[in-house]
């Protein structure tokens, strides 16, 4: 399945995994809409990077946890390139806080950014894809599975668990025209790792069977695989170097 000429919208793509996914889709021929809520300069830098590599891209700033901004984002994408055929719901945030200190605002914020944004964008995309097909790929996390949720980021973990259920349920509802899948990354060497102590990194590596972190470019390859594979839907790929296998 070729991505040439298809329109791809990648939310939260000014840095990290989203940035790598946007570049990878563009390299496969997709016309890419780069998005972020903040840091428009970084978003524009991603666009220029794609254009220099021979691709086609544009940046649209929007908060995808806000319904009217989602509408504006899709309207702008359609004006720039045409109907969105590939939606990557990548926007998310990790906020660390002990459970006893959490507030209703903390939980609402975690669910809005990490889950509601996916719901709003998927609903808008599904309407646009009706009658012509398309694919939706969600960015989940190892923290959304079973007992892999992590203390201190309970809001994020709970939102990703909801996202996993949503992915599989939406895949049922939108089949056969629209495919819905997700990627659940493990420990990825993005700028987030710059804030992590060397001791913590060693502890993580001790429980990862492959004893290595994953690059954003490697994760992006999994998104491309899902975009290009026409028989996959309702699939959540654990791209985690074996972390969810457990220590035995």
Enzyme catalytic residues: 156
CA dihedral 59, 52, 183, 143 (to 10 degrees): -70
Among residues 227, 183, 192, which one has the least CA distance to residue 213? 192
Among residues 141, 128, 139, which one has the least CA distance to residue 174? 128
- Distance (Å, whole) CA 19 – CA 17: 5
- Per the CB < 8 A criterion, the answer to whether 157 and 108 are in contact is no
Triad 167, 173, 174: Cα angle to 5°: 85
Q: Which residue has the tokens 């913590």?
A: 200
């Amino acid at each position: 399945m070729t991505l040439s000429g298809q329109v791809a919208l990648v939310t939260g793509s000014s840095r990290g995994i989203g940035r790598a996914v946007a570049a990878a889709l563009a390299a496969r021929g997709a016309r890419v809409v780069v998005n972020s809520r903040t840091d428009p300069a970084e978003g524009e830098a991603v666009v220029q990077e794609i254009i220099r590599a021979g691709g086609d891209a544009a940046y649209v700033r929007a908060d995808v946890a806000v319904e009217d901004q989602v509408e504006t984002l899709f309207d702008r994408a359609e004006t720039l390139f045409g109907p969105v055929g590939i939606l990557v719901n990548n926007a998310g945030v990790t906020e660390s806080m002990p459970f006893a200190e959490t507030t209703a605002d903390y939980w609402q914020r975690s669910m809005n950014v990490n889950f509601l944004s996916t719901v709003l964008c998927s609903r808008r995309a599904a309407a646009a894809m009706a009658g012509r097909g398309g694919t939706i790929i969600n960015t989940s996390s190892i923290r959304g599975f079973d007992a892999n949720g992590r203390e201190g980021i309970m809001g994020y973990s709970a939102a990703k668990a909801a996202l996993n259920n949503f992915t599989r349920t939406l895949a049922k509802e939108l089949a056969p025209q629209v495919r819905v899948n997700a990627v659940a990354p493990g420990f990825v060497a993005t700028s987030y790792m710059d804030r992590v102590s060397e001791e913590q990194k060693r502890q993580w590596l001790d429980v990862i069977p492959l004893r290595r972190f994953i690059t954003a470019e490697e994760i992006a390859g999994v998104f491309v695989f899902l975009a290009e594979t026409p028989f996959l839907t309702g699939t959540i790929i654990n791209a985690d170097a074996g972390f969810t296998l457990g220590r035995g």
